[in-house]
Amino acid sequence: MEMKFCQSCGMPLTNEVLGTNADGTPNEDYCIYCYKDGKFTQDMTMEQMIEHCAQFTDEINRNSGQNLTVEQMKEQMRQFFPHLKRWKNDIISNEILYILLPDYAAHEIVYLSQAIASDEFALKENPKYVNKAVAPTMEPVKSIGGFRTLPDYSFETMPDDYAALVLIGGFGWSTPVAEQVVPIVKKAIEKGKTVGAICNAASFMAKHGFLNAVKHTGNGLDQLKIWGGENYTNPEGYIHAQAVSDGCIVTANGSATLEFAKELLTLLENDTPERIEMYYQFNKQGFCNLFSIE
């Protein structure tokens, strides 16, 4: 017979410890410690459950014939728990989706995408996030500079779930194709996803009322007003800074590629604050200003 495990705490699930449904019948998925009378006995995250279970490391070692330290036990649970029914829907995609419209401004996302994909020596072997290019169709998209990028997804094939949505500036935001991005951003904000918008993409956000509930910036207040028209009701929320992060939304002007990267990397906890700052300063100040020769 196949060994069953509680789909919440991972303990071996024998008939003696089955949880109960609302009508009192046994529940086949969860143990009685986790699930009773049709609901979970405690509201917790996967990580909290791991902490909780790790208290019983000695007992688990005894029963399983292992000899793990508490840290090793937690690590094992971190591998195993995402496969359990209770937690598997919590797994958040690690893809950062970049919306590329024709004539996009390539300089506006290079620092972000490079930091996402690599550490300071570009040797990050298990990056926290993965960059994906999303375009209206699967046809190559040309940057202002004339280079052609192959999309990883089209608007039609892009996944529902992702870690962040980044709208790269450029000249596409004032063209009809930009309208197709409106429902994508709307859904992202409803779901509380991280959304970044730089340069004309910030103006696009103003135009569709997406900046009315957050502090924000863009290519100057005048530009936001012109693009936003009646839909932009939050000029008091404008901050004259290179980049502004508020809640889940990060905005920036077109010269703020490094500040935009810094705010998004911080919000996404891509690295430690110290290392994010180091990356920012290295590129902002430049190697020769930071490191002089004696």
Q: What residues are labeled active site?
A: 199
For residue 273, state whether it binds its own copies (rule: CB under 8 A).
no
SS (H, E, C) 13-69: CCHHHEEECCCCCEEEEEECCCEECCEECCCCCHHHHHHHHHCCHHHHHHHHCCCCC
At position 64, the amino acid (one-letter code) is S
How far apart, in whole angstroms, are the C-alpha atoms of residue 52 and residue 31?
15
* Residue 219 CB, nearest approach to its own copies (Å): 7
* Residue 263 CB, nearest approach to its own copies (Å): 14
With 0-12 CB in 10 A as exposed, 13-18 as middle and 19+ as buried, what is 47? middle
Q: Pick one of 87, 111, 173, 210: the residue that binds its own copies (CB under 8 A).
A: 111
Q: Are strands 164-167 and 95-99 parallel, antiparallel or unpaired?
A: parallel
To the nearest 10°, report the CA torsion of 109, 114, 117, 123.
Answer: 180
With 0-12 CB in 10 A as exposed, 13-18 as middle and 19+ as buried, what is 236? exposed
Segment near its own copies (CB under 8 A); pick from 11-19, 41-49, 114-122, 262-270: 114-122
For residue 220, state whether it binds its own copies (rule: CB under 8 A).
yes
Q: Pick one of 89, 122, 156, 230: the residue that binds its own copies (CB under 8 A).
A: 122
For residue 259, state whether it binds its own copies (rule: CB under 8 A).
yes
Residues 236-255 touching its own copies, rule: CB under 8 A, are: 240-242, 253-255
How far apart, in whole angstroms, are the C-alpha atoms of residue 216 and residue 170?
19
For residue 101, state whether it binds its own copies (rule: CB under 8 A).
no
For residue 110, state whether it binds its own copies (rule: CB under 8 A).
yes
Q: Which residue number, 32 or 117, has a Cβ lying nearer to its own copies?
A: 117
* Residue 285 CB, nearest approach to its own copies (Å): 8
Q: Pick one of 60, 73, 97, 103: the residue that binds its own copies (CB under 8 A).
A: 103
Q: Are strands 39-40 and 35-36 parallel, antiparallel or unpaired?
A: antiparallel
For residue 67, state whether it binds its own copies (rule: CB under 8 A).
no
How far apart, in whole angstroms, are the C-alpha atoms of residue 60 and residue 73?
9
Q: Which of 2, 9, 34, 8 is nearest to 20 (CA)?
A: 34
**Residue 61: which residues within 8 A CB-CB, separation 6 or more?**
67, 68, 73
Q: Which of 136, 142, 264 is nearest to 196 (CA)?
A: 264
For residue 135, state whether it binds its own copies (rule: CB under 8 A).
no
Segment near its own copies (CB under 8 A); pick from 15-23, 30-38, 85-93, 102-110: 102-110
Residues 137-166 touching its own copies, rule: CB under 8 A, are: 140, 143-150
Q: Which residue number, 61 or 242, has a Cβ lying nearer to its own copies?
A: 242
Segment near its own copies (CB under 8 A); pick from 38-46, 54-62, 79-87, 100-108: 100-108
**Where on the chain is the footprint of its own copies (CB under 8 A)?**
103, 105-107, 109-111, 113-114, 116-118, 122, 130-133, 140, 143-150, 171, 219-221, 240-242, 253-256, 259, 282-283, 285-289, 291-293
